[in-house]
Amino acid sequence: MQSIKEKIDALNWQSITTEMNEKGFACLSVLLSETQCEELIQQYDDPSLYRKTVVMERYRFGLGEYKYFQYPLPDTIQTIRESVYEHLAPVANGWMKALHIDKIFPDTFAELQSLCHLHGQQKPTVLILKYGKGGHNTLHQDLYGEIFFPIQIVLFLNEPGQDFTGGEFVLMQQTPRAQSKAMVLTPRKGDMVLFTTSFRPVKGSKGYYRAAMKHGVSELHSGERHTLGIIFHDALS
């Protein structure tokens, strides 16, 4: 059986890079096994794993709940965070170059984390989210501080149409001087989506321009939905 790192390294990263450049997101099938998904869901109620719980309704973020993991992260999550980052750093740097932004992201996750810590961002941002009937997440961006990596991950832990209905993953691209574009995704259990944290380059008639992106979750009609969000930069608090 392949390890999670072997699975990640074996992905077609050339094709993924093309998708990220063309659409700002890429959907990858069955990175996590059913057992791994179930373990993450079962661990939701283990308080020793988390540093903070957020009830979304209290802050008008939506309806549902999420919990930030504390360090050290579970091995599977740490491996995904480190391994995927190494493949995404060249994509992120290509975006910076296309948009003429004077910023270069380091080659390894450890170096990015050190950069975050130098700027006071020392809190883990990996989180697990739980929604029930009526649950939803308003459109937002996960930035957390001066240092932020422009791509992040969400892993889907339940099966749509079986464990829940509704609850689609929504991406919204805001193009300057134009109407916004919505993209609605329905990944299956174990799937991973890579997507833009804040903005991405889009090729126009006069070169590349910066298109802002937000993400959220549509309302659940029934059942329960869990997802694991992996953000690469750390937070101030």
Q: What is the pLDDT of residues 124-143, one digit of tens each?
A: 999 999 999 999 999 999 99
* pLDDT above 90 for 175: no
Angle at 115 between CA 50 and CA 71, to 5 degrees: 15
Nearest in space to 126 (alpha carbons), one of 185, 40, 198: 40
2: confidence class by pLDDT, cuts 50, 70, 90: confident
Phi, psi of 82 (to 5 degrees): -70, -45
Pairing of β 151-156 and β 225-230: antiparallel
- Identify residue 106 by its one-letter amino acid code: P
Q: Looking at the structure, give the CATH architecture of the domain made up of residues 4-230.
A: Sandwich (2.60)
Mean pLDDT, rounded, for 197-221: 95
- Which pLDDT value is given to residue 205? 86
**Residues 93-119, buried b or exposed e (16+ Cβ, 10 A)?**
bebeebbeeeeebeeebeebbebbeee
* DSSP string over 5-20: HHHHHHS-HHHHHHHH
Mean pLDDT across the chain, nearest whole number? 96
User: Domain map of the chain by residue range?
Assistant: 4-230
Query: Percent of the chain beyond pLDDT 90?
Result: 95
pTM score = 0.96
Angle at 139 between CA 65 and CA 45, to 5 degrees: 15
- Which pLDDT value is given to residue 1? 66
- Which pLDDT value is given to residue 21? 97
Handedness of CA 97, 103, 109, 110 (dihedral sign): positive
